[in-house]
A and B are shown apart, each in its own frame.
Chain A
Amino acid sequence: MTGEAQLSERNTVVTERMSLRIVSLLLLVAVFSVFVLWSVNPVGSGSESTIALFLAVDLIAVAMISYIDRAVSREGRISRAALIAGCFFIGLLVVGALYLVG
């Protein structure tokens, strides 16, 4: 195996490991949001906004998981900008939702 091929394989392995960790974190966020979803009062504009924000978080997490799988399996690399943007929005929405809970 040439050095270039070895490097490529190593990169793919690193990408896969990284993606597995990110996906695990995204699933954790999703589970957390479902827990919050069941623990707030379903009637009332404030709590409805909290639920809506967590639902948006879940949807972004789903989109990211799907993107990671597609990118790793087809292209062998993930766009760092897309990951950062996704995580940023998730963070923003979680903070917004927790602010509303508070």
Chain B
Amino acid sequence: MADTTEVPPREEKIGLMARALGWFDSRLGLSYQLLRPAPQYSINPFYWLGALATVAFVIQAVTGGIMMLYYVPDPTQAYATTQYIFRSVSYGTFLETIHLYTAYAMIMLAFMHLMRGYFVSVHKKPRELMWVTGMVMGFVTLGFGFTGYLLPWTIVSKSATDVGIGMMGALPQPLASFITFLVVGSGSDAGELLRFYDLHVFVLPAVLLVLLVVKMYMLEAHGVSEPSSGLGSLSQKKRKLIPIFPDVSFYLVELAALFGSAVILVSVIFPLSLPPEYSAAIAGQYVSQPDWYFLWIYQILKVSAFEQAGLPVALTAVTLIFAALVVLPFIDRGKVRNIRERMVYITLGAIFVAEVAVLAVWGYLTPGEAIPDETAALVLGGTALLVTLCSLVAYKLVFGGLRRLARGKSPNDGLASKPPMGATPASPRAAGAWIAGMFVGLLVAGAFFTGNSIADVVALGLGASTALPSLAISLTGLALVVVGTMFLIYRLDLATGSIRRRVRVFELGWKG
């Protein structure tokens, strides 16, 4: 007779947290997977920068909603009601500060999200429309910053906004007429403030929410993007799919909580204070300067060549940069996504980030100062040159010859690895460390000579002719750095046998 006695199932001990989650799950159906599972490799903050920007938006909606209870969008009361929030409303200063800093964080996160997407090629098929939607969301985010800046009606915000509105008139038509009509209306202060308020609290949030839904829909359709190096580079564990609830959701809760605590901490360390109220009488005493996220554009417009008649040219150029970013998926249509094989695009992206950062910091340090053309050319050109050199070096060091050198392999003819200077034999690792050190030294020297050149040109522009010898030395040093970098790269290629075109002068002393 067969033994039919059933072994009772082993009672598993269920923790308090699991029981609590189970209770909610059975009521809300959280574990019924509506959303596509995400891969394990997406448990990484860089995959959720857009989600963090959304968290920032939610915090802004909550804090802004509370402030709306007190704020009156009228030029005669805007400042007084803002001041009332600061002084008399419970946690008022905290609300204002958090609202501002999460706005900053949202813009920064949106920019990081954009650039990360650019570098890892998320804009490629089939996510082209996700990219375009994301870009429009980025413009809406900047719109939040622009419209919200005016609302306190302070001398700083009103003056900067007036400068911004003035510049809009120089945008290409019909964009200029449309934006000017949208934000200024009849031209009176009251009309302008009311329009900014409406755009800030109704129109832009509504547009952003619609775009968010559209983007989420597309994310659900396409899933999280693969790493640029492909799935093949990942372990089985990393490729495993995990459910949105609880795994990914809990991870997002962690990120959101840490983000919130960081913003709070910054707001405690740097609390906001309200500048004086706007009045036409004292407006001339203040230098009009936009908030930091528009400073890079403002700094371009301060270049002498772009003042007055050149303004439309500069604004058209900036518009074209944005337009190029929007249509990027239709320009960069190649199938290659791997960062290692996209040196040109990666270098262009790095130059863009570096130029934006340099222009913003420069703008912050030189409020209201016009920038001579030569200085602008040197700073912007120097930055582009340095970034290009860095990129070239990085590609050679990280992805190129040095890696092969460290492995002792040659791509072409199996040349044995050797130090790139062709001198004392050393281990591949020692040769790698040596050449990396040389590259770093060259970059430091390059930065030093570029800085000196800029300072000398500025001094010359101010009439100090004594700066001429110093400029000659700096430019010579810069030229030597460029030649030195090319020499080192050539010797590296020579050591690994990946030379395409011979340059005899760079082979002096080479014992091949």
Q: Is B246 in contact with A48, judged by CB distance below 8 angstroms?
A: no
User: Which A residues are in CB contact (< 8 Å) with B88?
Assistant: 43
Would A16 and B261 be within 8 Å (CB), given that A45-B271, A70-B247 are in contact? Answer: no
B94 at the interface (CB under 8 A from A): yes
Mask of A26-48 contacts with B, CB within 8 angstroms, 1/0: 00000000000000001101001
Does B253 reach chain A (CB closer than 8 Å)?
yes
- The A-contacting residues of B in range 233-266, CB under 8 angstroms, are 242, 246-247, 250-251, 253-255, 257-258, 260-261, 264-265
Task: Report if A73 contacts B (CB, 8 A).
Answer: yes
Q: Which residues of A contact B280 (CB under 8 A)?
A: none
Asked whether A70 lies within 8 Å of B250 as measured between CB atoms, the reply is: yes
Considering the chains assembled together, what is the distance between the CA atoms of A67 and B251 in angstroms? 7
In the complex, A63→B246 CA distance in Å?
14
Which chain B positions have C-beta within 8 A of A49? 268, 271
Contact B268 A59 (CB under 8 A): no
Contact (Cβ within 8 A) A55 B250: no
A20-B251 Cα distance, complex, nearest whole Å: 19
Which residue, of B15, B17, B267, B268, has the highest number of chain A Cβ atoms within 10 A? B268
B92 contacts A by Cβ under 8 Å: yes
- Tell me whether chain B's interface is mostly helix, strand or loop, or mixed: helix
A43 to B247, CA, bound (A): 39
Q: CB distance B93 to A48 under 8 Å?
A: yes
In the docked arrangement, what's the CA distance between A40 and B268, Å? 16
How would residues 266 to 310 of chain B score, 1 for a CB under 8 Å from any chain A CB and 0 otherwise?
Answer: 011001000000000000000000000000000000000000000
**Pair A42/B268 contact, Cβ less than 8 Å:** no
Q: Bound state CA distance, A59 and B98, in angstroms?
A: 15
Which of A48, A62, A73 gathers the greatest number of chain B CB atoms within 10 Å?
Answer: A48
The verdict on B91 contacting chain A, using a C-beta distance below 8 Å, is yes
B247 touches A45 (CB 8 A): no
Contact B264 A56 (CB under 8 A): yes
CB <8 Å contact, B93 and A53: no
Of residues 46 through 82 on chain A, the ones whose CB sits less than 8 Å from some CB of chain B are 48-49, 51-53, 55-57, 59-60, 62-63, 66-67, 69-70, 73-74
- Residue B365, interface by CB 8 Å: no
Taking a contact as CB atoms closer than 8 A, the residue among B92, B254, B267 that contacts A63 in the complex is B254
What's the minimum C-beta distance from B169 to chain A, rounded to whole angstroms?
41
Contact of B265 among A56, A62, A69 (CB under 8 A): A56
The minimal Cβ–Cβ distance linking A76 to chain B, given in whole angstroms, is: 13
Say yes or no: B271 contacts A60, CB within 8 Å.
no
- 0/1 string, A8-25, CB within 8 A of B gives 1: 000000001000100100
Docked Cα-Cα span, A20 to B20, in Å, equals 14
Could you list 10 A-B pairs, sorted by A, with CB under 8 Å? Answer: A42-B91, A48-B93, A52-B94, A52-B267, A53-B264, A62-B253, A67-B250, A69-B250, A73-B18, A74-B242
* A-B residue pairs, 6 tightest by C-beta: A42-B90, A63-B257, A56-B261, A59-B261, A59-B257, A56-B264
